[in-house]
Amino acid sequence: MNNNVKTASNVTTFKKYYGVGSFQPLMVNPSAKDLGAFLNRQIPTEPQYITNKSMDGKEFKGLRIDVWGVLPKVDVKTKVTFWLEGRYDVAKSGKTKMINGQGFATYVEDLSILNKNKNWYFTDNARKCLKGEDTVVDFFVKLMNWETDLSKFTLKDGDTPQIFLPVEKLFNGDFTDLQKLVLENKTIKVYCGIKSRTVDNNTYYDMEIYSKAFMKDNPNKKGAKEIIDALMGEYSGFSGNIAPISETLEEFNVEEIQTMKKEIETQSADIADNPFAF
């Protein structure tokens, strides 16, 4: 099985892929021993998932959540990484993001407005959302196919949506609740991109899963509009991705990408020389 290991462009590399594909999570924030066994290589130090951070004179914890798994179609091991912070998500406008038991997040602080025309947002257990929390919730909602339609709940006798991350346990280094969820052999639609970096005159190409858009892995549903729309969005684009946007999983070929890039640059130069060219 191929491992998503970072390698230079002038040496033999493992195959990498870009585009939309099924991802099967297998472990969450593993120890060095477990990760080494999974990747079939030695991990010299224990991964540091929790760090101390500060901003504007305030200290808080940072949390990295690595969900390791495989892309079954191409037999490749890889991961999706989420970054959380032990502080509330506050927009530049000063509004605080709220998250509820459906896993729905919003910067609308007057939640009653959301149900003005239709009762779809459960407000009773909404609370302030930690930075990055909602993206992790969205991942597990899509993976586990949890019910989020408010009309499916009676809203009586405890029958209410209760999708929340165990944030206190997570920030204390206890990842068992999330680990249990990835043991059910479920899959989720993800987007794999390719990023490049240069070290000592060597160019490295890394495969990375986009962590802000996912889809339920429904074999009867064709296309990947939800993910593609997020990738093409003005604020949600996959920053640094050098591969084309594809609705299917394609093998990455650096020569093809470089040729494509040159063609685009040539077309852009032609247009610049002749602004009336079509």
Rounded to the nearest 5 degrees, what angle is found at the Cα of 28, between the Cα atoms of 25 and 30? 120
pLDDT at 108 over 90: yes
Is 16 in contact with 3 (CB distance < 8 Å)? no
Cα separations (Å) of 275 from 23, 245, 263, 268? 44, 26, 18, 10
Token pair recorded at residue 179: 């680990």
Res. 232: pLDDT tops 50: yes
Distance CA 20, CA 215 (A): 10
Spatial CB neighbours of 111, under 8 Å, sequence gap ≥ 6: 98, 121, 123, 126
Each residue's pLDDT tens digit, 49-101: 999 999 988 999 999 999 999 999 999 999 999 999 999 999 999 999 999 99
Query: Side-chain half-sphere of 270: how many Cα atoms within 13 Å?
Result: 8
Q: Confidence band (pLDDT; 50, 70, 90) for 116?
A: confident
Percent of the chain with pLDDT over 90: 66
Is a pLDDT exceeding 60 seen at residue 212? Answer: yes
Q: How far does the chain reach from its first CA to its final CA, in angstroms?
A: 47
CB atoms within 10 A of CB 143: 23
Nearest to 43 by CA among 75, 63, 68, 25: 68
- Distance, in Å, from the CA atom of 184 to the CA atom of 139, rounded to the nearest integer, reads 15
Taking the C-alpha atoms of residue 273 and residue 264, their distance in angstroms, rounded to an integer, is 14
Better-predicted residue by pLDDT, 109 or 12: 109
3 state DSSP class of 35:
helix
Calpha distance 253→15 (Å, rounded):
9
Domain boundaries, the chain: 2-87+136-145+167-273
pLDDT-derived band of residue 271, with 50, 70 and 90 as boundaries?
very low
Q: Pick the more confident residue, 235 or 177.
A: 177
Residue 162: the pLDDT is 95
pLDDT of residue 192: 95
Q: Are 35 and 47 in contact (CB under 8 A)?
A: yes
Reply yes or no on whether the pLDDT at 270 is more than 90. Answer: no
CA distance to 50, 65, 182, 230, per residue, from 187 (Å): 27, 18, 9, 20
Radius of gyration, alpha carbons of the chain: 21
105 three-state secondary structure: strand
Q: How crowded is residue 227: how many other Cβ atoms within 10 Å of its Cβ? A: 22
